[in-house]
Amino acid sequence: MAGVSTAVVSYALNDRRGVSVATRERVLRVADELGWRPNPAARSMRAGAQAVGLAVVAGETLHGAPVLDVVAAFQRELLPRGLGVDLRVVADVAAAAELYRRWGAERRCDVVVVPEVRDDDVRLRVATDAGLRPVVVGPTEVAPGLAAVEVDDEDAYARVARYLASLGHVRIALVADPTDRLRTAACERGLRAATQDGTVALEIVPTDGTVEGAAGATRRLLTQAVRPTAVVLATDVMALAALDVARRTGLVVPWDVSVVAGADSVLCRLATPALTSLPSLATDLGEALARAVTGTLDAAAGDPPVRVPLAVGALAVRGSTSPQAH
Amino acid sequence: MAGVSTAVVSYALNDRRGVSVATRERVLRVADELGWRPNPAARSMRAGAQAVGLAVVAGETLHGAPVLDVVAAFQRELLPRGLGVDLRVVADVAAAAELYRRWGAERRCDVVVVPEVRDDDVRLRVATDAGLRPVVVGPTEVAPGLAAVEVDDEDAYARVARYLASLGHVRIALVADPTDRLRTAACERGLRAATQDGTVALEIVPTDGTVEGAAGATRRLLTQAVRPTAVVLATDVMALAALDVARRTGLVVPWDVSVVAGADSVLCRLATPALTSLPSLATDLGEALARAVTGTLDAAAGDPPVRVPLAVGALAVRGSTSPQAH
Please report, to the nearest 10 degrees, the dihedral formed by the alpha carbons of residues A69, A72, A73, A76 taken in order. -170
DSSP structural state of residue B50: S
- Is residue A192 classed exposed, middle or buried when 0-12, 13-18 and 19+ CB atoms within 10 A define those classes? middle
**Percentage above 70 pLDDT, chain B:** 94
User: Beta B147-151 vs B109-114: how paired, if at all?
Assistant: unpaired
Tell me the CA distances in angstroms from A3 to A32, A265, B104, one per residue in order: 15, 59, 27
Question: Are A108 and B240 in contact (CB < 8 Å)?
Answer: no
CB contact under 8 A, A68 and B68: yes
Question: Virtual CA dihedral for B34, A55, A290, B126, nearest 10 degrees?
Answer: 100
Compute the C-alpha angle B109/B112/B118, nearest 5°: 150
In whole angstroms, give the CA distance from residue B182 to residue B59.
18
A39: nearest CB among B106, B267, B270? B106
Mean pLDDT of B167-187: 96
The answer to whether the Cβ–Cβ distance between B39 and A67 falls below 8 Å is: no
Contact A99, A88 (CB under 8 A): yes
pLDDT for the residue B86: 85
Homologous superfamily of A48-152+282-310: Response regulator (3.40.50.2300)
Q: What pLDDT is attached to residue B47?
A: 41
Per the DSSP assignment, residues forming a β-bridge with A248 are none
Residue pair A57/A92 in contact by the 8 Å Cβ criterion: yes
With beta carbons less than 8 A apart as the criterion, state whether B85 and B49 touch. Answer: no
High-pLDDT (> 90) share of chain B, % = 75
- pLDDT surpasses 70 at B77: yes
Between A21-25, A252-256, A317-321, B56-60, the lowest mean confidence (pLDDT) is in A21-25
- pLDDT tens, residue by residue, B280-303: 999 999 999 999 999 999 999 899
Please tell me the predicted confidence (pLDDT) of residue B39: 55
Higher pLDDT, B48 or B65: B65
Q: Provide DSSP, A84-130.
A: EEEEEEESSHHHHHHHHHHHHHHT-EEEEEE-SPBTT-HHHHHHHHT
Q: Hey, are the CB atoms on B267 and A102 less than 8 Å from each other?
A: no
**Residue of B103, B187, B96, B70 whose CA lies nearest to B139:** B187
pLDDT digits (tens, 9 = 90+) for A241-272: 999 999 999 999 999 999 999 999 999 999 99
Contact B87 A84 (CB under 8 A): no
Angstroms from B12 CA to nearest CA on chain A? 19
Which contacts of A264-270 are long-range, i.e. CB under 8 A and separated by 24 or more positions?
A264/A236, A264/A316, A265/A66, A265/A236, A266/B211, A266/B237, A267/A236, A267/A237, A267/A240, A267/B237, A267/B240, A267/B267, A268/A236, A268/A239, A268/A316, A268/A318, A269/A318, A270/B211, A270/B237, A270/B240, A270/B241, A270/B243, A270/B244
**Radius of gyration, CA atoms only, chain A:** 25
Which pairing describes strands B171-176 and B147-151: parallel, antiparallel, or unpaired?
unpaired
Q: Classify burial at A286, counting beta carbons within 10 Å of its beta carbon; exposed 0-12, middle 13-18, buried 19 or more.
A: buried
Mean pLDDT over residues A145-167, rounded?
98
pLDDT band at A50 (very low <50, low <70, confident <90, very high): low
What pLDDT, on a 0 to 100 scale, did the predictor assign at position B244? 96
List, as one string, the DSSP characters of A146-158: SEEEEE-HHHHHH
Query: What is the rounded distance in angstroms from the CA atom of residue A31 to the CA atom of residue A135?
Result: 36
pLDDT tens for residues A218-244?
999 999 999 999 999 999 999 999 999
| Residue numbers in B near A56 (CB within 8 A) | 68
Higher-confidence residue: A27 or A260?
A: A260
Q: Are A145 and A175 in contact (CB under 8 A)?
A: no
**Gyration radius of chain B's alpha carbons:** 25
Domain ranges of chain B: 6-37, 48-151+282-310, 153-277
ipTM over 0.85 threshold: no
CA distance B59 to chain A (A): 8
For A153-277, CATH gives 3.40.50.2300
Residues belonging to chain A with any Cβ–Cβ distance to chain B shorter than 8 Å:
35, 37-42, 44-45, 50, 56, 58, 67-68, 71-72, 75-76, 84-89, 102, 105-108, 211, 237, 240-241, 243-244, 247, 266-267, 270, 272
From chain B, pick out residues whose CB is under 8 angstroms from the CB of A108.
40-41
Residue B321 confidence (pLDDT) above 60: yes
The predicted-structure confidence for A84-100, as pLDDT tens digits, reads as follows 888 888 889 999 999 99
The reply to whether B48-151+282-310 and B153-277 are identical in fold is yes
CATH classification of B48-151+282-310 is 3.30.1330.60, yes or no?
Answer: no
- Do B270 and A240 count as a contact with CB atoms less than 8 A apart? yes
A283-310 pLDDT, tens digit per residue, is 999 999 999 999 999 999 899 999 999 9
Residue B189, CA distances (Å) to B162, B204, B213 in order: 13, 11, 22
Query: Over chain A, what is the mean pLDDT?
Result: 91
